[in-house]
A and B are shown apart, each in its own frame.
Chain A
Amino acid sequence: MIRFILSDLRRLWAGSLVVVLLVALATGLGVAVTLQERAIRLGSARAADRFDLVIGAAGSETQLVLSSVFLQPSPLPLMPGQILEKLAADPRVAWLAPIGFGDSFSGYPIVGTTTALITNATSGFAEGSLFAAEGDAVVGSAVNLPIGAAVKPVHGTAVESGHTHTEIAYRVTGRLKPTGTAWDRAILVPIQAVWHLHGLGDDGEAHDTKPGTGEGSRHDHAPEPSSAPNEPAHTEEHDHHAGIDPDAPIDETWSDHVPGLPAVLVKPKTIADAYKLRQEYRNGATLGIFPGEVLTNLYATLGDVKQILLAVATGAQVLVAASLMLVTVMHIGQRRRQIGALRAFGAPRLSVFAIVWLELIGLFATGIGAGFAAGYGAARVAANAFTQQSGFVLPVEFIAADARLAAFLGLFAAVLAALPALLAYRQSPAAALRS
């Protein structure tokens, strides 16, 4: 029987190939959508994992998550610097780290932060060590810079870069291990360097002495309108470049001279503390968020998109299934005589049924298998491209539910293949031979 089926398939190889391709395409489409959506969900959830609580100025929750967790450049409003001091003194806080954005270097965002963040929220160093001086920098695993390289920050986002800060070139002192997040593409520098570079912070004499110097006036660090309202100190100081000393030691004791901040990452001591802190900082001026929760809301939207994509994929699958039905029924029509002859020579009806069924299920199963492989491959290619661009890893992986999908497709194919097989089973051999 197998031999008969194989010779039949060999004879009708072109048609068989088309059937396999159709099935593979329809399956692959659905698989790719499912895998990709899951990869985005898992990847972003993992990225948000390290950030328990983010506190920023009142504004968009999504924007805050995108900027802090995914380092998407966007003008964030600033909150008063005193908040940092207040949080640092709060007994419910295990550790905290202010983050500052605004500069970039050859496409990598430069993020001002603290040793606390690097120690607590990364996977450790692949080589080199933590920054020790104001002019030191630590690079993420995906940043293509060697230890010792000079980083000249460019004002502005990685996409729309502005002028270069000539006052400083950071020295790369360490490289972090991969975390699978957008932070792998970041250059981390002491936040005080960012402040000093932009003429902010507690150096009282900085803005007394620097205004009017050639350098200071050339640069325009006027914040975007959206950044202005919450940052009184900033408006005053935006034109000034503080003295930046690459060799100055890092000072992470937060005084009330801290300038306005876009966001602070907070590690609360307990879950209860986390909720209390979020509640406390969800007032008019500040916004406390759990990135995981914000992402969950985002997924709800993403889920709708997935539903739409899946509906499209399902539509395609239904079309393919319908065309396959047509093809197989026509195919049986063409094989009436052959099937009639098989019966006339004494082949049991069940063998005839089995031949037709096995032949079709073989084609369908091959197509489904190829579709899963193609869908997986496509999702991997897309995910890799995404990782290269953003640094954050999209884990493309199958889960148990996919086995259910495969089983369902297999079952559906089995039923679909049974229809023409049943036609063949029921047809009278005498009538078939006459035709």
Chain B
Amino acid sequence: MLALKIQSLAVSFKGLSAPALVIEQLSVPAGSRLAITGASGSGKSTFVNLITGLERPSSGRILWGETEIGTLSEGRRDCWRGENIGLIMQDFHLFPGMSALDNILLPARLAGAMSADGRMRAHALLERVGLARPEQRVETMSRGEMQRVAVARALMRKPGIIVADEPTASLDAASGAAVGTLLLELAADESSTLIMISHDARLADRLERRIVLDAGQIVSDSAAPAVRA
């Protein structure tokens, strides 16, 4: 469980006059659950890339706990991300040809971070997300099942932060709702900080805080209606 602090953040891309994202000040307490919405091009993806350390800010500071990730070397950031962030993406990014179990274990294995009880945890997670066949090849699964595998993979290394980038956008309504519920429950179970990018208002409403981005600026930062009520 980690808290996020952002100070004087600005990201601009070459050839664009306006910065892609400017955040003067943002604080996300550890263990809180934050939804980020906004039209496409509003800077959501840039935000995800920055807070996961996939990109460096042009200026400003991004602090996760005590770690300022913008100053870490590329290798250190990969390492930090693997340890601290469970990333779930719209397109799953599972690796075909491998079983659900192997997909879940792959990042830990590649990072050399397989602990003795790793397989047990992977099996437990598969069960937790509702998948009964750990050896099933991922390409033979439905999209809803694939995203469940992706969720289990994100949680494998007990990350302090779960970042979900449009986790339900490519799923039908029912699977989307189920995955949404799963994410909220698991974040609570694992007491991870949850940051979810979503344009799905019903899902966003279930998180206690919502930030709306527009043209790279925070235009609204409020408690979600469901939580307010």
Contact A348 B78, beta carbon cutoff 8 Å: yes
Please tell me which stretch of B47-55, B63-71, B183-191, B211-219 contacts chain A, meaning at least 4 of its Cβ atoms lie within 8 angstroms of it: B47-55
A343 at the interface (CB under 8 A from B): yes
Q: Mark A391-404, 1 if CB is under 8 A from B, else 0.
A: 00000000000000
Looking at the assembled complex, report how far the CB atom of A35 sits from the nearest CB atom of chain B, in whole angstroms. Answer: 39
Q: What is the chain B residue whose CB lies nearest that of A434?
A: B45
Contact B97 A346, beta carbon cutoff 8 Å: no
Chain A residues near B96 (CB-CB < 8 A) = 7, 11
Chain A, interface SS category: helix
Q: Kindly name the residue among A3, A346, A351 whose own CB sees the greatest number of chain B CB atoms within 10 A.
A: A346
Question: Which B109-125 residues have C-beta < 8 A from chain A?
Answer: 109-112
Chain B residues near A7 (CB-CB < 8 A) = 95-98, 102
Contact A346 B98, beta carbon cutoff 8 Å: no
CA of A429 to CA of B77, assembled, Å: 12
Q: How large is the interface on B (under 10, 10 to 19, 20 to 34, 35 or more residues)?
A: 20 to 34
Q: Mark A343-373, 1 if CB is under 8 A from B, else 0.
A: 1111111110001000000000000000000
B24 at the interface (CB under 8 A from A): no
B153 at the interface (CB under 8 A from A): yes
Contact B111 A348, beta carbon cutoff 8 Å: yes
CA of A338 to CA of B45, assembled, Å: 18
Looking at the assembled complex, report how far the CB atom of A343 sits from the nearest CB atom of chain B, in whole angstroms. Answer: 6
Contact B97 A10, beta carbon cutoff 8 Å: yes
Contact B102 A345, beta carbon cutoff 8 Å: no
Contact A347 B98, beta carbon cutoff 8 Å: no
B26 at the interface (CB under 8 A from A): no
Chain B residues near A342 (CB-CB < 8 A) = 106-107, 110
Contact A346 B107, beta carbon cutoff 8 Å: yes
Q: What is the chain A residue whose CB lies nearest that of B153?
A: A345
A326 at the interface (CB under 8 A from B): no
Contact B79 A344, beta carbon cutoff 8 Å: no
Q: What is the chain A residue whose CB lies nearest that of B76?
A: A348
Q: What is the chain A residue whose CB lies nearest that of B85?
A: A346
Q: What is the chain B residue whose CB lies nearest that of A342?
A: B110
Looking at the assembled complex, report how far the CB atom of B21 sits from the nearest CB atom of chain A, in whole angstroms. Answer: 13
B57 at the interface (CB under 8 A from A): no
Q: What is the chain B residue whose CB lies nearest that of A346?
A: B82
Chain A residues near B199 (CB-CB < 8 A) = none
B221 at the interface (CB under 8 A from A): no
Looking at the assembled complex, report how far the CB atom of B56 sits from the nearest CB atom of chain A, in whole angstroms. Answer: 10
CA of A1 to CA of B83, assembled, Å: 18
Looking at the assembled complex, report how far the CB atom of B38 sits from the nearest CB atom of chain A, in whole angstroms. Answer: 17
A210 at the interface (CB under 8 A from B): no
Contact A346 B79, beta carbon cutoff 8 Å: yes
Contact A346 B81, beta carbon cutoff 8 Å: yes
A430 at the interface (CB under 8 A from B): yes
CA of A343 to CA of B87, assembled, Å: 11
Contact B111 A349, beta carbon cutoff 8 Å: no
CA of A337 to CA of B91, assembled, Å: 10
Looking at the assembled complex, report how far the CB atom of A421 sits from the nearest CB atom of chain B, in whole angstroms. Answer: 14
Contact B87 A345, beta carbon cutoff 8 Å: yes
Contact of B54 among A4, A10, A348, A430 (CB under 8 A): A430
CA of A337 to CA of B49, assembled, Å: 15
A430 touching B111 in the complex, CB below 8 Å, given contacts A343-B78, A344-B87, A346-B85: no
A-B contacts, 23 listed (Cβ < 8 Å):
A3-B109, A7-B95, A7-B97, A7-B98, A8-B97, A10-B97, A338-B95, A341-B93, A342-B107, A344-B89, A344-B93, A345-B93, A346-B79, A348-B79, A348-B110, A348-B112, A349-B78, A350-B75, A351-B110, A355-B110, A429-B54, A430-B55, A433-B54
Binding site for A on B (CB under 8 A): 45, 49, 52, 54-55, 74-75, 78-79, 81-83, 85, 87, 89, 93, 95-98, 102, 106-107, 109-112, 153, 157
List 5 additional contacts besides A347-B106, A347-B110; criterion CB under 8 Å: A341-B89, A345-B106, A348-B110, A348-B112, A351-B110
